[in-house]
Amino acid sequence: KEKNMTSISVSGCDGCDTSEGVKYYRLAEIEKQNSFKSTWIIIHNKVYDVTKFLEEHPGGEEVLREQAGGNATESFEDVGHSTDAREMASSMVIGEVHPVSVCVSVCVSVSVCVSVWWSNMLVPALVAVIVTVIYNMYSSE
């Protein structure tokens, strides 16, 4: 199931324009932009080209480089950027994450969470059953 969803996120064109003039980028294209020549990050599903800002970033360029090609929303919000920083960032927006990519990302995350939940519940349940059976065998003798 995950393989089908992933193939959806990388099919089609990268950087597709919409009728509203918004440029959409698929996750596969964004992930490629993680070098000094081209550094893109995602914040709240908007794609930012921060290449020219690397050396100017107050926290150092390595902060941006760690997030390059990926979703930096949590890191961006954890720092608590000022209004000025947010306005400056808005000038670096080059587009948005393609809606299919956003949906696929959420679906894959939910699928992984569900599979982790099952394994986290199944192992303790099996251990409890085995301990109960062994206890009952020894207590009945």
Residue 47 pLDDT exceeds 50: yes
Q: What is the pLDDT confidence band of residue 16, given thresholds at 50, 70 and 90?
A: low
* Non-local CB neighbours of 92 within 8 Å, separated by 6+ positions: 48, 49, 50, 53
- Checking if the pLDDT of 20 tops 90, the result is no
- What number is the average pLDDT over the span 89-93? 91
Coil, strand, or helix at residue 79? helix
How far is residue 38 CA from its own chain's centroid?
Answer: 19
CA 18-92-64 angle, to 5 degrees, is 120
Which of 65-74, 94-103, 126-135 is least confident? 94-103
Task: Record the tokens describing residue 26, joined without a space.
Answer: 């698929």
Q: With b meaning 16 or more CB within 10 Å and e meaning fewer, what string describes 43-76?
A: beebbbebbebbeeeeeebeebbebbbbbbeebb
pTM over 0.75: no
> In the predicted model, is pLDDT for residue 58 greater than 70?
yes
How does DSSP classify residue 43?
E
Domains parsed from the chain with CATH numbers: 2-115 (3.10.120.10)
pLDDT at 6: 35
Give mean pLDDT, residues 20-43.
88
* pLDDT tens profile 106-140: 555 555 555 555 667 777 788 889 999 998 888 87
Maximal CA-CA distance, the chain: 79
